[in-house]
Structure 1
Amino acid sequence: MGWLKKLGKLMIFGALIALTVVLAFYLYVKDDLPSEESIRDVRFQIPMKVYTADGQLISQFGEKRRNPVLYSEIPQQLKDAIIATEDSRFYEHFGIDPIGLIRSVVVVVSTGTKAQGASTITMQLARNVFLSLDKRWMRKIKEAYIALHIEQIMTKEEILTLYLNKIPFGNRAYGIGAAAQVYYGKDIGELNLPQLAMLAGLPKAPSRYNPIRNPERAKFRRNVVLGRMLAVGAIDQATYEEAKAAPVTAKFHGAKITASAPYVAEQVRLEMIEKFGEEQAYTSGFKVYTTIDADAQVAARQAVRENLHAYDERHGYRGPSRYLWDIEKADATDVNSLSWDMDKIEDYLKKIRDYGELTPAVVTNVTDESIYVQRKGKVFDVVHWDGLKWARPYIDDDKQGPPPQTAHDILKEGAFIWLKPQSDGSFKLSQRPIVSGSLVAMNPQNGDILALVGGYDFAYNQYNRVIQAERQIGSNVKPFVYSGAIENGMTLATLVNDAPITKWERNMVWRPKNSPETYNGPTRVRRGLAESKNVMAVRVMRTLGIDATIDYLTRFGFDKNNLPANESLSLGSASLTPLSVVRGMSTFANGGFLVEPQLIDYVEDTAGNKVFQTTRLVANLEQKELDNQSLNTLPLNSDNPVKFELPAPRVISEQNAFLITDAMNSTIWGGGNWARGNGWNGTAWRAQVLKRRDFSGKTGTTNQSIDTWFSGFNAHIAATTWVGFDAPGRPLGRTSFNSNLTDAEQETGAEAGAVTALPAWVRFMQDYKDKVPLTYREIPEGVISVRIDRKTGLLSRKTDHTTRFEYFIKGTEPTKYVDEFEPQTIDEEKDMIEEEEGLF
């Protein structure tokens, strides 16, 4: 009995020692333990998601992909798999599993290594949320104490839910919801047992058992999970055998992008960081709803790409990217000695990502009128002559070689090429465009940006030409110059001399020229704007003066520092961004108001509360009384549904905006009577294909066609396109006739706004115009219409083709009839100067 008493005393003493140690450790680490409030308020690092106005996902930003799920949304089989594998006594223990702990101690004593299997689900949660991942003993002690604390304040369901939403699953997926999307592209409730078991096996070592990088190892781990489920009775033998035999179906799935707009996403990212800071923007789970219309964005992207390909193709084929082998150098006795087999070609192609809509391919055979190619996935196609005949050689930006007669003139076997898919499922030989372009569309009534495409492919070039590129705007400036002249008393019927100009200044001569170099003499303002007569624009600006013109142009939001203080301003020497141009054009579209472009409509937090709401400047909006609440940032957790709106400032009169808009309508539809011999086209006549009389617009071309533009609008949409080389100063060149193509299939001659930029706008509107309401321009109060003589701009008593009705601001209409007085022409050039220069 004596030894029993000694043993009992020893056990009591040991228990006291253990209790003392436990208490001592608790006192040592208690200041580092999280409070109940912090445990309850565990925040997920949820990425920021960017959406279109109608809720389609554009992009997401954040290092950790996370999609939190509720306990009720977690499949029972997944719960069973996790518990069977990670912590089979989860529902029995109090945060620490004594049996597992004893087993871990035995391993340490017997092997001298730190145990790996003592952590319960609760302890793993404690480590992942509050501690580091090192294997120090003090961390394990803190982990145990935090686990005990968690078990006291949370239910088992809450613990399991938080655990499954916090732990890493590899590939930057945190939480089971994100893992289901990343590995299978599905919601967690859509996965089958083998897939759930695969995910349940990942927490042990996400990198080691990653099913994308290590499918065999991942399959082994999945089957271990299934075996544990079988052992604890979660599944029966038949289910186990069926699931064990299932193939590995995991592959990488990015975010479910349903509205690709990377240039938009990047700009939103920058604005969100500016508003909320980088850490909060990336981890707070913000949902950013933009002003982008998904249909408009798709149409804009396609329009830009198609237009750049059209330019690139008419300037000639620059040849294949490279030749993988050269059959002509092969041994005559073994013509296949240098050629690649399909496996080698496949290995090469897998390393090449698509470029926009272009897909890489390798030419395997060439006949007279076709080429045979291999694409990714060991897919074989034939490109027929219709997809090849355009490819005459590129010599330089101004010259093209002779049209090809056979496919042998274009390519040979071994060529690495790019193919462009066609609407009928076939492919066309193509190439990566070397020219750049952009398109931005906005609602002129409130500044909402509906579509924004800053280049061909954001993945290859992140430079956003809509917002960052300041380029000379050419004749896109003329509507603003003419608007200033209208305000200064000029009318659409005023005659301006369309004749050459010579100006001497500091022993230098400036001779602006029309393009083309044709001159009509005295010409009405309407026609001068519609036909984009350069010399008339100079003379029109002279009526206002350089300084007054600059001050007037700042009304449209243009920075005075970007407006050169010389007469070249009237021809578009100012360097502006497409976004600033479309904003200025919107002033004509909305009746004279300056709106503010914006991409972000509002921002929600994870609970659906609005944390930011954009304040819009709205045209024709009556002044509203607003409270003292900030107009730019709502308080966090606010559910205020108000859309803040303020009246946009009026910068030109409604009458002025109407007259310029109507004159720009003639840019598309021209005037006169073709049957009677006095018909004429505006520079944007190609837009007539839209069959919409409510659109107005203006082309723009700079010297040597370095920059080309088109801006077009009605009351509901304004859009600006630009095409040019990123390297300033490189002309866009010209093209000659390709006899392999019909007239309808090509453009020839010098590149210009009407040829190079306008087609992108037309293509965009062809796809999107059905969503743009037809607008009937209402004649504003103070504008009258009188019949004038087309030649002189004076009143006419005739009603034939020599006359037309013209709009005037009341009080500025002509008072004399054509048969009573000779018209006066605005032309301050002295005849003696023109004669000395030999211009006439």
Structure 2
Amino acid sequence: MKRKKRGAPTSTRIRTVTNQPAQGSPAKPSRKKRWIWAAVLSTLFLLGVGYIAWLSQDLPSLAKLEQIEPAVATRVYSSDGELIHSFFTANRTYTPFEKIPPYVIQALISMEDRDFYNHWGVNLLGIVRALIVDIRHMAIVQGGGTLTMQLTRPLFFGREQKISRKIKEALTAIRIEKTYSKNEILEMYLNINSFGNNAFGIEAAAKRYFNKDVQDLTIEESALLIGLLKGTSWYSPIRHPERAKHQRNVVMSTMVATGYLTRAQYDSLKQLPLKLDLYDPNKMHTAPYFTESVRLQLNRLQDSLKVNIYEDGLRVYTTLDTRFQYFMEKAIAKHIDGLQETVRNQRDFRELRQTLQDSVAFNNATTVEIAFVAINPHNGHVLAMVGGRDFNKSRFNRVTQAKRQPGSAFKPFLYTAAIDNGYSPAYRLYNKPTVEINADGTQWRPENYDHSVGGLITLREALRRSLNLVAVQLINEINPRNVVKYARAMGITTPIRPYSSLALGSSEVIPIELVSAYGTFANNGLHVKPISIERIEDKNGNIIYRNTPRPKVALSPETTQIVRDMMQTVMDRGTGYGVRRDFKFYLPAGGKTGTTNNYTDAWFVGYTADLVAGVWVGMDDPKMSLGPRMSGSRAALPFWGEFVKSVYDSIPFIHGKFAESPGVFKLEICLDSGELARPYCPDTVTDLFTEKNRPTEKCHLHTGTHSSSRGRKKRF
């Protein structure tokens, strides 16, 4: 149309009517003006082209456009399929287009870009209208950008308020439209944009506000999330629920206008409340000590795997079982407060309360902490873990990071070394006092927990009663360095001092290593290092890391069976009897209590054929005592009994049996001579032996010449 107004015939008629010879020929100035205007327009055009060319230097390259990969959160899953945590810089789970409900797409197009399927990245009419307003104000004050242009902001340009940015958006949008399909653009848009409250992408938004997967969103929920794109803070349903509800209804009204909803649907849906079900990804919801341990492991792995654990959308499949975790936390909740009250009510702590004059300081100083871990002894999988009372107050993981003296919980290593070196459970030592001179000239006088002395005691009985005097004699007979060797073979890595006091657990251990070592007894002599990560997949589902259990032979099956049987005696009628008596747990199991000097640490570690678990309780300051008589059987065992009883009552598939070795057999021996019993032996015992430690001769003391009556038989 403009070309016709400036046509030659019209100009000629005007020149014919107008005759002004005094001013010269009118054609020359008219042609001059046209040249001036042409020059101005050409200059402006060239300047515009040059400006656009200059701006184009900063546009993302084609290669960059073809590899748009937004930061995606790493998801951590339990072995039973539950999402237990996420690690991210931006909380985002990438969702493919086909999994996004149609209501979300319809709401987005209705609200943001109704001509989306008809333009090529730029809506010229909208751009011109917006540019006029923007030029007038010399700033961006009006929209006009398409969905594709909006997509460029979080990807490349941010929200800087400049006209040049809008031009860059338009140029980049055209390139994006040439590179991707419409559905791919929608997919990127909904996965990349922020929906507020640290939710990036539609999947994270669905989880954050409604605690559900995106494919489960309803119409009104979809509308609420799309409404947030106009202003995540202004329309936040958490801070401004009424404002958010109004915006939700505005979105649904646009869906009516575009034909995606009927008026009747809108009238019904607009009345519905928001019905939020908030989920905070920043809070450790399940097994916080475990997931933090996983994060630390991932940090160590990411360089070798060449990944970023916070941005690459990894899927980490762990060994944790949320059912075991639930029962562990339930057991702690049931018993910890009572233990805490008992500890604080003792006389020494009442005096400490008066000294500190500050309830906060007193509570911090006297908080009873706990380390509790359960492991599958056959593959090393950590099934449940609690590293302390409150993760929000202390992230120090006492399961994996603490080093504490195990007390008598170390004795199974001593008895293992003895049995493997030819001793039998029926071997007897005197329960007599002993005095040792330390390097500094001081004396060490160990005592039994019950202060008992006297008599010849079998190794089985000494372990059952946890007699310290017998243990010290035994370690001196077999050499402390031998005990260190067996502890190392079973997984203890901390420094171990090869002194006599090692028999009483004087060297510190890490709780998870001690528990894992006990798993060797349940696994027929094979030790498997504990693992928390089973495998890692990249965002495309490719396995990039797999943690395969590697069992290592630590003990012979024969030694394992005998020591395991001795530890079952501890559980059946020894210091671990509380498990049977108080919790009615009667399946085959072995275990050992541990108590350190001044009742600083209390332990119970035990196992079944399918499970090994251990509990430590104490205070972070090793100078603080739990109080008189707060032994492992009193302070730690109840947690173990409650947990294991609940697990076996609720998870029936774990009912394995201990392996038995053909090289282990029962023999009746005379306690006086240690030889095979005769009918005339007055005091006998039946116990387990191997070819290595069995007696071969009949009793030389009771041949019938000097003894004519039998004594009382004893069985283990």
Following TM superposition, by how much is the alpha carbon of 1:498 offset from its aligned partner in structure 2, in angstroms? 0.7
C-alpha contact 1:473 1:574 (8 A) present in aligned 2: yes
DSSP-derived class of the 1:438 partner: strand
Q: 1:128 — aligned with what?
A: 154
Query: Does the alignment pair 1:461 with 2:394?
Result: yes
1:312 to 340, 344, 348: 340
Q: 2:12 — aligned with what?
A: none
Label 1:654 to 1:40 Cα distance change in 2 as closer, same or farther (>3 A): same
Following TM superposition, by how much is the alpha carbon of 1:725 offset from its aligned partner in structure 2, in angstroms? 1.0
Equivalent-residue separation in structure 2 for 1:252 and 1:294 (angstroms) = 21
Structure number with larger C-alpha Rg: 2
Label 1:232 to 1:432 Cα distance change in 2 as closer, same or farther (>3 A): farther
Equivalent-residue separation in structure 1 for 2:218 and 2:555 (angstroms) = 64
Q: Larger deviation: 64-73 or 268-277?
A: 64-73
Deviations 1:386-438 (A, max 9, x none): xxxxxxx665459999xxxxxxxxxxxxxx9xxxxxxxxxxxxx999921112
Following TM superposition, by how much is the alpha carbon of 1:806 offset from its aligned partner in structure 2, in angstroms? 1.0
Following TM superposition, by how much is the alpha carbon of 1:597 offset from its aligned partner in structure 2, in angstroms? 1.1
Equivalent-residue separation in structure 2 for 1:569 and 1:105 (angstroms) = 82
Following TM superposition, by how much is the alpha carbon of 1:812 offset from its aligned partner in structure 2, in angstroms? 2.0
Q: 1:300 — aligned with what?
A: 328
> What one-letter code is carried by the residue in structure 2 that aligns with 1:662?
D
Unaligned runs of 5+ in 2: 9-29, 354-358, 704-716
Following TM superposition, by how much is the alpha carbon of 1:461 offset from its aligned partner in structure 2, in angstroms? 2.1
Following TM superposition, by how much is the alpha carbon of 1:309 offset from its aligned partner in structure 2, in angstroms? 2.2
Q: 1:437 — aligned with what?
A: 370
Query: Does the alignment pair 1:768 with 2:653?
Result: no
Equivalent-residue separation in structure 2 for 1:525 and 1:179 (angstroms) = 63
Q: Larger deviation: 458-467 or 246-255?
A: 246-255
C-alpha contact 1:454 1:463 (8 A) present in aligned 2: yes
Equivalent-residue separation in structure 1 for 2:50 and 2:138 (angstroms) = 25
Following TM superposition, by how much is the alpha carbon of 1:106 offset from its aligned partner in structure 2, in angstroms? 2.7
Alignment of 1:124-523 (within 5 A): 124-250=150-276, 252-255=278-281, 260-277=286-303, 280-315=308-343, 395-397=347-349, 434-505=367-438, 506-523=440-457
Deviations 1:72-130 (A, max 9, x none): 33333433332232223222322111111122123235445423312211101112212
Following TM superposition, by how much is the alpha carbon of 1:9 offset from its aligned partner in structure 2, in angstroms? 8.0
CA RMSD of aligned residues (A): 3.3
> What one-letter code is carried by the residue in structure 1 that aligns with 2:495?
N
Label 1:80 to 1:557 Cα distance change in 2 as closer, same or farther (>3 A): closer
Following TM superposition, by how much is the alpha carbon of 1:199 offset from its aligned partner in structure 2, in angstroms? 1.6
Q: 1:688 — aligned with what?
A: 580
Label 1:712 to 1:8 Cα distance change in 2 as closer, same or farther (>3 A): farther
> What one-letter code is carried by the residue in structure 1 that aligns with 2:433?
P
Equivalent-residue separation in structure 2 for 1:601 and 1:251 (angstroms) = 31
Equivalent-residue separation in structure 2 for 1:198 and 1:702 (angstroms) = 59
Q: 1:350 — aligned with what?
A: none
Identical residues among aligned pairs (%): 32
> What one-letter code is carried by the residue in structure 2 that aligns with 1:806?
D
Following TM superposition, by how much is the alpha carbon of 1:616 offset from its aligned partner in structure 2, in angstroms? 1.4
Equivalent-residue separation in structure 2 for 1:787 and 1:174 (angstroms) = 73
Query: Does the alignment pair 1:717 with 2:641?
Result: no
Label 1:660 to 1:398 Cα distance change in 2 as closer, same or farther (>3 A): farther
Label 1:16 to 1:203 Cα distance change in 2 as closer, same or farther (>3 A): farther
Alignment of 1:604-643 (within 5 A): 604-618=537-551
> What one-letter code is carried by the residue in structure 2 that aligns with 1:687?
V
Q: 1:653 — aligned with what?
A: 556
Deviations 1:467-502 (A, max 9, x none): 011000000111101221223322211111111112
Label 1:137 to 1:599 Cα distance change in 2 as closer, same or farther (>3 A): same
Q: 1:786 — aligned with what?
A: 667
Structure with the higher helix share, 1 or 2? 2
Q: 1:746 — aligned with what?
A: none
> What one-letter code is carried by the residue in structure 2 that aligns with 1:195?
E
TM-score w.r.t. structure 2 length?
0.85
Structure with the higher strand share, 1 or 2? 1
Label 1:24 to 1:564 Cα distance change in 2 as closer, same or farther (>3 A): same
Q: Larger deviation: 162-171 or 187-196?
A: 187-196
What number of residue pairs does the alignment pair up? 663
> What one-letter code is carried by the residue in structure 2 that aligns with 1:440?
V
Following TM superposition, by how much is the alpha carbon of 1:291 offset from its aligned partner in structure 2, in angstroms? 1.3
Label 1:778 to 1:169 Cα distance change in 2 as closer, same or farther (>3 A): closer
Equivalent-residue separation in structure 1 for 2:45 and 2:53 (angstroms) = 12
Label 1:53 to 1:257 Cα distance change in 2 as closer, same or farther (>3 A): farther
Alignment of 1:64-143 (within 5 A): 64-143=90-169
1:805 to 648, 661, 686: 686
Following TM superposition, by how much is the alpha carbon of 1:570 offset from its aligned partner in structure 2, in angstroms? 0.8
2:518 to 580, 585, 591: 585
C-alpha contact 1:297 1:452 (8 A) present in aligned 2: yes
C-alpha contact 2:139 2:162 (8 A) present in aligned 1: no
Deviations 1:141-187 (A, max 9, x none): 22111101111222222212211121111011111222122112233
Equivalent-residue separation in structure 2 for 1:776 and 1:801 (angstroms) = 36
Q: Larger deviation: 200-209 or 267-276?
A: 200-209
C-alpha contact 1:315 1:399 (8 A) present in aligned 2: no
Equivalent-residue separation in structure 2 for 1:654 and 1:482 (angstroms) = 15
Following TM superposition, by how much is the alpha carbon of 1:779 offset from its aligned partner in structure 2, in angstroms? 3.8
C-alpha contact 2:524 2:659 (8 A) present in aligned 1: no
Q: 2:19 — aligned with what?
A: none
Following TM superposition, by how much is the alpha carbon of 1:775 offset from its aligned partner in structure 2, in angstroms? 4.5
TM-score w.r.t. structure 1 length?
0.73
C-alpha contact 1:52 1:259 (8 A) present in aligned 2: no
C-alpha contact 2:675 2:695 (8 A) present in aligned 1: yes
1:732 to 626, 634, 647: 626
Equivalent-residue separation in structure 2 for 1:95 and 1:279 (angstroms) = 33
Equivalent-residue separation in structure 2 for 1:759 and 1:43 (angstroms) = 51
Q: 2:484 — aligned with what?
A: 550
> What one-letter code is carried by the residue in structure 2 that aligns with 1:796?
A
Equivalent-residue separation in structure 1 for 2:680 and 2:523 (angstroms) = 33
> What one-letter code is carried by the residue in structure 2 that aligns with 1:34?
P
1:708 to 575, 578, 602: 602
2:638 to 759, 768, 771: 759
> What one-letter code is carried by the residue in structure 2 that aligns with 1:598?
I
DSSP-derived class of the 1:170 partner: coil
> What one-letter code is carried by the residue in structure 1 that aligns with 2:46?
T
